[in-house]
Structure 1
Amino acid sequence: VGRTKAQVLKAIKNYDISNMPCSSIKSKDIVEFLQSLTAKPQTVGNYASHLAAIFAIARPMWGYRLDEQEIKDAVNVARRMGIISRSAQRDRRPTLDELDRLIRHFIERRKKVPQAMPMHKVIAFALFSTRRQEEITRIRWKDFQREQKRVLVRDMKHPGEKIGNHTWVDLPDQALQIIGSMPKSKAEIFPYSTDAISANFTRACKLLDIDDLRFHDLRHEGISRLFEMGWNIPHVAAVSGHRSWISLKRYTHIRETGDKYAGWHGLQLVIDTK
């Protein structure tokens, strides 16, 4: 279970609906619960989404008598009433200057504290591989095929399934170089926790006065970069892991402008610094 989903499910335990018998929970109860949340429609939508995932597997997997149709009906009603809505798509992309500052910051910290996480490598790998934060921490050395330039991403995020959704993805040359600079000290290539990565990134952005940049924006930047280089949707999907090309259509308006990271000195710094 991802960190955000775990937080949402833990929060739901504080509401009356969590004490109701499973078989008695109806769409009306779910709608009332969603209405009681003092949050933006996008945030309430996240609650509904995570709750729906539980309804989908509770009966077939654990034998709990939760009716999946009730949550579906509740979501339809909540959407029509404006209680929930989809999260707005983010278009925030880091500038080269922002990335340079982040890379230098973490390299300097690594020099002062050698045991510190090599965040400069994690950031660069996220960008060039287009991998999500939780996927990066699950990649294992045994799942890395250097000659084939690919890696197996275990339990890749997917709307319909996550557990067991292991997917082979292609690795751009820059991502291969970064992996090549990592020590084989543990089973995972990046043996770090998602909480630590998130905390380090957020703290650094605040310290460096980098506004409204999230770690996930690095994936958006990496995918945008591939389209700017002239890659087609199937080629990009082989890297990003998207099963549905519809999700990548938001990038098709991007004009081919070449690779702004060609000759980027920050990459060499990442590779050369432990």
Structure 2
Amino acid sequence: MGTIVERPRGDGTTAFMAKIILKQKGVVIHRESKTFDRRPAASAWIDKREKELSQPGALDRVKVNDPPLKDVITTYIADSLKEAGRTKAQVLKSIQGDEIADLACSKIDSPRLVDFARRLAKTRDPSTVANYVSHLSEVFTVARPAWGYPLDRQAMDDARIVANRLGLTGRSKQRDRRPTIEELDKLMAHFAGRRQRAIPMTKIVAFAIFSTRRQEEITRIAWEDLDEEHSRVMVRDMKNPTEKTGNDVWCDLPPEALRIIQSMPRGKGPIFPYKPDTIGFAWRDAIAILDGIEDLRFHDLRHEGISRLFELGWNIPHVAAVSGHRSWTNLKRYTHIRQRADKYAGWKWLEIVTPKKEKAEEQ
């Protein structure tokens, strides 16, 4: 028997969710729902679906189209023309290992989704749980209209509200960790002492600071994207709250960042032809080995670089031209900086990582 539930929307309008639940001997064997803007449309859909489901073999066909969530996630990744980012791919793979992924689509309701968030919250902070739920929500958004899988989008929306109210999800706290010159000297000496020919971490660390580029962005920058005349570079697929793939942005290069690029061997393809994971492993290994450096992440170098530009007296538009921020709102957190000096003035490592051309060719 179908029912219609009215749900108020944030814009003041009312949505009408049509629900169908079929039982045999008191056990739910099928459920599905669909939301409409008008009650008559919801009622008409219920009538149509009940007639379809009453046909011989209809329920068997529905069951075939009611796979476990883990299979839907696999389909989502395979069918998406947009390549999933490293973090998103890891999150979705992790979700496939949770017990909720073994449930058929029609069995996943709001309480089960909230329980999923509770399990995550036992070992993860609210901002991380929010990311997991957000990536899973994208699967719910496309599953029914794209493949006919009965994942309930409304159940996901309800679960997200509940998880937020219960404190299971939340925004990440602003991180203000900045490395000291002493810490950076330790790291640079460590990387230089290892003489790692496979990956020049001293150059990469320095470039991350002076360019304000993220770890993955550094590895995507190609020689073809460099505009030396105007001291800028095209950053491909820059991270963005709503879109990443295809979000290509021209970013200015401070003089120090351009010097580091010019010290790299010329060629085609990436200027820094290394994998983000390799950089991450090298960084984390160094932090674990070195004494006196606690809770310093590679991404903190971007924060350090942006802070430095404000300390040089740059205004928000000027800094945004380097950092690639579309919204200046996120840069307002730096406007409290009153220091007007360059702590990297005379920093020996900039000279070391950008040697004279003839010396660079010998290395």
TM-score normalised according to structure 2 size: 0.69
1:30 aligns with one of 107, 113, 116: 113
Within 2, Cα distance between the matches of 1:59 and 1:164? 26
Residue 298 (structure 2) pairs with residue 218 (structure 1): no
Which residue pairs with 2:313 in the alignment? 230
Within 2, Cα distance between the matches of 1:52 and 1:174? 42
Within 2, Cα distance between the matches of 1:53 and 1:145? 37
Change (3 A) 1:141 1:255: same
Q: What is the CA distance between 1:43 and its match in structure 2?
A: 2.8
Residue 191 (structure 2) pairs with residue 106 (structure 1): yes
Change (3 A) 1:36 1:168: same
Query: Does structure 1 retain, via aligned residues, the 8 Å contact 2:232–2:252?
Result: yes
Which residue pairs with 2:168 in the alignment? 83
Within 1, Cα distance between the matches of 2:148 and 2:174? 35
1:170 aligns with one of 252, 257, 282: 252
Change (3 A) 1:154 1:54: farther
> Equivalent residue of 2:162, what SS?
helix
Change (3 A) 1:236 1:59: farther
Letter in 2 for 1:266: W
Within 1, Cα distance between the matches of 2:314 and 2:137? 36
Residue 75 (structure 2) pairs with residue 17 (structure 1): no
Change (3 A) 1:95 1:80: same
Letter in 2 for 1:138: R
Q: What is the CA distance between 1:22 and its match in structure 2?
A: 4.4
Structure number with higher strand proportion: 2
Change (3 A) 1:227 1:64: farther
Q: Gapped runs of 5+ residues in structure 1?
A: none
Query: Does structure 2 retain, via aligned residues, the 8 Å contact 1:138–1:153?
Result: yes
Residue 241 (structure 2) pairs with residue 159 (structure 1): yes
Residue 326 (structure 2) pairs with residue 258 (structure 1): no
Which residue pairs with 1:148 in the alignment? 230
The more displaced of 36-45 and 158-167 is 36-45
Letter in 2 for 1:13: Q
Change (3 A) 1:55 1:141: farther
Within 1, Cα distance between the matches of 2:344 and 2:143? 46
Within 2, Cα distance between the matches of 1:144 and 1:64? 45
Q: What is the CA distance between 1:41 and its match in structure 2?
A: 2.5
> Equivalent residue of 2:354, what SS?
helix
Within 2, Cα distance between the matches of 1:130 and 1:212? 19
How many pairs are equivalent?
270
Within 2, Cα distance between the matches of 1:242 and 1:59? 35
Greater Rg over alpha carbons, structure: 2
The more displaced of 182-191 and 64-73 is 64-73
Q: What is the CA distance between 1:15 and its match in structure 2?
A: 1.9
2:218 aligns with one of 136, 148, 160: 136
Letter in 1 for 2:177: R
* Offset from partner CA, 1:105-127 (integer Å, 9 cap, x none): 212222xx5x3310000000000
Query: Does structure 1 retain, via aligned residues, the 8 Å contact 2:224–2:268?
Result: no
Which residue pairs with 2:326 in the alignment? 243
Which residue pairs with 1:73 in the alignment? 158
Within 1, Cα distance between the matches of 2:91 and 2:255? 38
Q: What is the CA distance between 1:265 and its match in structure 2?
A: 1.4
* Offset from partner CA, 1:6-43 (integer Å, 9 cap, x none): 22211100123323444664433322211122223333
Which residue pairs with 2:33 in the alignment? none
Q: What is the CA distance between 1:100 and its match in structure 2?
A: 1.5
TM-score normalised according to structure 1 size: 0.90
Letter in 1 for 2:275: S
Query: Does structure 1 retain, via aligned residues, the 8 Å contact 2:311–2:342?
Result: yes
Which residue pairs with 2:86 in the alignment? 3
> Equivalent residue of 1:169, what SS?
strand
Within 2, Cα distance between the matches of 1:196 and 1:233? 33
Change (3 A) 1:151 1:53: farther
Query: Does structure 2 retain, via aligned residues, the 8 Å contact 1:22–1:64?
Result: no
Query: Does structure 2 retain, via aligned residues, the 8 Å contact 1:102–1:204?
Result: yes
RMSD of the TM alignment (CA)?
2.1
Letter in 2 for 1:197: I
Q: What is the CA distance between 1:235 and its match in structure 2?
A: 1.0
Within 1, Cα distance between the matches of 2:334 and 2:182? 23
Identity among equivalent pairs (%): 60
* Offset from partner CA, 1:80-135 (integer Å, 9 cap, x none): 1111122222111011111112112212222xx5x331000000000011000011
